[in-house]
Amino acid sequence: MKLTHLFRFVIILVFLELCSCTFIFNDKSNFTLFKEPVIKNFDGIPLKTNGIYISEDGGGALFLYQNGQVKLLKPFFSQARKGIWLDPLDVLKGINLYWNFNTKEFWGSFIINDNEIIFQNFNENNILKERYLFEQRGRILNDSTIVIFSDYVYNTGDSLLNTECLLKFYPTSIKPDSTNIWFVNKKWYRKNLHESRK
Protein backbone atom coordinates (compact mmCIF):
# COMPACT_ATOMS: atom_id res chain seq x y z
CA MET A 1 0.00 0.00 0.00
CA LYS A 2 2.77 2.44 0.94
CA LEU A 3 4.62 1.61 -2.27
CA THR A 4 1.53 2.54 -4.33
CA HIS A 5 1.29 5.92 -2.59
CA LEU A 6 4.99 6.54 -3.15
CA PHE A 7 4.63 5.65 -6.83
CA ARG A 8 1.69 8.06 -7.21
CA PHE A 9 3.64 10.77 -5.43
CA VAL A 10 6.62 10.33 -7.79
CA ILE A 11 4.33 10.41 -10.86
CA ILE A 12 2.71 13.64 -9.65
CA LEU A 13 6.12 15.21 -8.99
CA VAL A 14 7.35 14.28 -12.48
CA PHE A 15 4.14 15.67 -14.02
CA LEU A 16 4.47 18.96 -12.11
CA GLU A 17 8.12 19.26 -13.11
CA LEU A 18 7.24 18.77 -16.77
CA CYS A 19 4.45 21.34 -16.52
CA SER A 20 6.80 23.89 -14.98
CA CYS A 21 9.20 23.59 -17.93
CA THR A 22 8.66 24.88 -21.42
CA PHE A 23 7.97 21.41 -22.74
CA ILE A 24 7.41 21.59 -26.48
CA PHE A 25 8.37 18.52 -28.47
CA ASN A 26 8.67 20.46 -31.72
CA ASP A 27 8.27 24.22 -31.45
CA LYS A 28 6.47 24.60 -34.78
CA SER A 29 4.50 27.69 -33.74
CA ASN A 30 7.60 29.91 -33.85
CA PHE A 31 9.08 28.21 -36.91
CA THR A 32 7.76 30.62 -39.56
CA LEU A 33 10.48 31.56 -42.06
CA PHE A 34 9.60 28.73 -44.46
CA LYS A 35 6.27 30.50 -45.10
CA GLU A 36 8.01 33.58 -46.49
CA PRO A 37 10.09 34.17 -49.65
CA VAL A 38 13.78 33.25 -49.40
CA ILE A 39 14.73 36.80 -50.40
CA LYS A 40 12.38 39.58 -49.29
CA ASN A 41 14.31 42.69 -50.24
CA PHE A 42 17.93 42.49 -51.35
CA ASP A 43 19.80 44.29 -54.13
CA GLY A 44 23.31 42.94 -53.50
CA ILE A 45 25.14 39.92 -54.85
CA PRO A 46 23.45 36.73 -53.52
CA LEU A 47 25.26 34.73 -50.86
CA LYS A 48 27.26 31.79 -52.19
CA THR A 49 25.66 28.39 -51.62
CA ASN A 50 28.22 26.03 -53.18
CA GLY A 51 30.13 25.48 -49.95
CA ILE A 52 30.13 26.07 -46.19
CA TYR A 53 30.35 29.09 -43.89
CA ILE A 54 32.75 28.57 -40.96
CA SER A 55 33.45 30.84 -37.98
CA GLU A 56 36.95 32.12 -37.29
CA ASP A 57 37.36 29.80 -34.30
CA GLY A 58 35.89 26.78 -36.12
CA GLY A 59 33.08 26.44 -33.56
CA GLY A 60 30.28 27.48 -35.89
CA ALA A 61 29.64 26.09 -39.37
CA LEU A 62 26.60 26.02 -41.63
CA PHE A 63 25.48 25.19 -45.15
CA LEU A 64 23.07 27.39 -47.14
CA TYR A 65 20.90 26.11 -49.99
CA GLN A 66 19.27 28.08 -52.81
CA ASN A 67 15.82 26.90 -51.73
CA GLY A 68 16.22 28.60 -48.33
CA GLN A 69 17.29 25.57 -46.30
CA VAL A 70 20.09 25.81 -43.75
CA LYS A 71 22.00 22.96 -42.09
CA LEU A 72 24.07 23.60 -38.98
CA LEU A 73 27.15 21.42 -38.91
CA LYS A 74 28.55 23.10 -35.79
CA PRO A 75 26.20 25.28 -33.72
CA PHE A 76 28.67 27.12 -31.46
CA PHE A 77 28.71 30.76 -32.56
CA SER A 78 29.88 32.16 -29.22
CA GLN A 79 33.35 33.65 -29.42
CA ALA A 80 33.86 32.72 -25.75
CA ARG A 81 35.43 29.57 -27.21
CA LYS A 82 38.34 31.52 -28.71
CA GLY A 83 40.78 29.55 -26.53
CA ILE A 84 39.70 26.36 -28.31
CA TRP A 85 40.61 27.63 -31.76
CA LEU A 86 40.24 25.29 -34.72
CA ASP A 87 41.51 26.13 -38.16
CA PRO A 88 38.50 26.39 -40.53
CA LEU A 89 40.47 24.38 -43.08
CA ASP A 90 40.59 21.48 -40.57
CA VAL A 91 36.79 21.64 -40.38
CA LEU A 92 36.69 21.56 -44.18
CA LYS A 93 38.96 18.50 -44.46
CA GLY A 94 36.75 16.18 -42.43
CA ILE A 95 33.41 17.77 -43.22
CA ASN A 96 31.47 14.56 -43.92
CA LEU A 97 32.89 12.86 -40.82
CA TYR A 98 30.97 15.04 -38.36
CA TRP A 99 28.38 13.02 -36.44
CA ASN A 100 25.43 15.14 -37.59
CA PHE A 101 26.46 15.53 -41.26
CA ASN A 102 23.98 12.91 -42.54
CA THR A 103 21.30 13.23 -39.84
CA LYS A 104 17.79 14.62 -40.30
CA GLU A 105 18.44 17.01 -37.41
CA PHE A 106 19.97 20.51 -37.22
CA TRP A 107 18.02 21.73 -40.27
CA GLY A 108 15.96 24.86 -40.71
CA SER A 109 15.18 27.78 -43.00
CA PHE A 110 16.67 31.19 -43.65
CA ILE A 111 15.43 34.48 -45.06
CA ILE A 112 17.29 37.48 -46.45
CA ASN A 113 15.86 40.95 -45.90
CA ASP A 114 18.01 43.90 -47.00
CA ASN A 115 21.46 43.17 -45.58
CA GLU A 116 20.15 40.97 -42.76
CA ILE A 117 19.91 37.18 -42.77
CA ILE A 118 17.77 35.26 -40.27
CA PHE A 119 18.10 31.52 -39.60
CA GLN A 120 15.59 29.33 -37.77
CA ASN A 121 16.76 25.79 -37.06
CA PHE A 122 15.97 22.84 -34.86
CA ASN A 123 18.28 20.93 -32.55
CA GLU A 124 17.49 17.45 -31.22
CA ASN A 125 18.09 18.47 -27.66
CA ASN A 126 17.38 15.62 -25.23
CA ILE A 127 16.52 11.97 -24.67
CA LEU A 128 12.81 12.72 -25.09
CA LYS A 129 13.58 13.88 -28.65
CA GLU A 130 12.38 17.37 -27.77
CA ARG A 131 13.57 19.70 -30.50
CA TYR A 132 14.55 23.21 -29.46
CA LEU A 133 14.08 26.01 -31.98
CA PHE A 134 16.98 28.43 -32.40
CA GLU A 135 17.03 31.72 -34.26
CA GLN A 136 20.24 33.41 -35.35
CA ARG A 137 20.43 36.85 -36.94
CA GLY A 138 23.31 38.19 -38.95
CA ARG A 139 24.51 40.94 -41.26
CA ILE A 140 25.57 40.15 -44.81
CA LEU A 141 28.89 41.90 -45.47
CA ASN A 142 29.36 40.50 -48.99
CA ASP A 143 28.57 37.34 -50.99
CA SER A 144 30.89 35.23 -48.82
CA THR A 145 30.86 36.79 -45.33
CA ILE A 146 28.20 36.86 -42.61
CA VAL A 147 28.41 38.33 -39.09
CA ILE A 148 26.10 36.61 -36.58
CA PHE A 149 25.02 39.06 -33.87
CA SER A 150 22.14 37.20 -32.19
CA ASP A 151 21.51 33.55 -31.18
CA TYR A 152 18.17 33.00 -29.40
CA VAL A 153 16.46 29.83 -28.07
CA TYR A 154 12.66 30.00 -28.30
CA ASN A 155 11.99 27.13 -25.88
CA THR A 156 13.93 28.68 -23.00
CA GLY A 157 14.13 32.38 -23.90
CA ASP A 158 17.92 32.26 -23.61
CA SER A 159 20.27 34.43 -25.64
CA LEU A 160 23.47 32.47 -26.34
CA LEU A 161 25.70 35.01 -28.06
CA ASN A 162 27.95 37.31 -26.06
CA THR A 163 29.64 38.97 -29.03
CA GLU A 164 29.54 38.98 -32.82
CA CYS A 165 30.69 35.93 -34.76
CA LEU A 166 32.25 36.22 -38.23
CA LEU A 167 31.53 33.41 -40.73
CA LYS A 168 33.53 33.09 -43.93
CA PHE A 169 32.68 31.04 -46.99
CA TYR A 170 34.77 28.04 -48.12
CA PRO A 171 33.84 26.25 -51.36
CA THR A 172 33.20 22.51 -51.22
CA SER A 173 31.19 20.03 -53.27
CA ILE A 174 30.52 17.92 -50.15
CA LYS A 175 27.19 18.99 -48.68
CA PRO A 176 24.46 17.19 -46.69
CA ASP A 177 21.42 15.96 -48.62
CA SER A 178 18.79 18.70 -48.33
CA THR A 179 15.95 16.21 -48.85
CA ASN A 180 16.97 14.31 -45.68
CA ILE A 181 15.20 16.63 -43.21
CA TRP A 182 12.81 15.49 -40.48
CA PHE A 183 10.13 18.08 -41.30
CA VAL A 184 10.39 18.28 -45.10
CA ASN A 185 7.49 15.88 -45.78
CA LYS A 186 5.28 16.93 -42.87
CA LYS A 187 1.81 18.20 -43.87
CA TRP A 188 2.11 21.40 -41.83
CA TYR A 189 5.35 22.23 -43.65
CA ARG A 190 4.30 21.32 -47.20
CA LYS A 191 0.97 23.12 -46.84
CA ASN A 192 2.58 26.44 -45.85
CA LEU A 193 5.84 26.25 -47.85
CA HIS A 194 6.42 29.42 -49.85
CA GLU A 195 6.62 29.02 -53.63
CA SER A 196 10.21 30.34 -53.74
CA ARG A 197 11.31 27.41 -51.54
CA LYS A 198 9.96 24.60 -53.75
DSSP the chain: -HHHHHHHHHHHHHHHHHHHS---SB--SS--GGGS-SEEE--SPPPP-SEEEEETTSSEEEEE-TTSEEEEEEE---GGGTTS---HHHHHHTGGGSTTTTSS-SEEEEEEETTEEEEEEEEE-STT-PEEEEEEEEEEEETTEEEEEEEEETTT--B--SS-EEEEEEE-S----TT--TTTT-HHHHHH--GGG-
pLDDT number for residue 168 = 93
Q: How many CB atoms lie within 10 A of CB 195?
A: 6
The Cα–Cα gap between 55 and 166 comes to: 6
pLDDT number for residue 154 = 92
pLDDT number for residue 99 = 80
pTM equals 0.81
**Mean pLDDT per 10-residue segment, the chain (198 residues):** 59 50 65 96 88 87 96 75 62 80 93 95 76 94 95 88 88 93 94 96
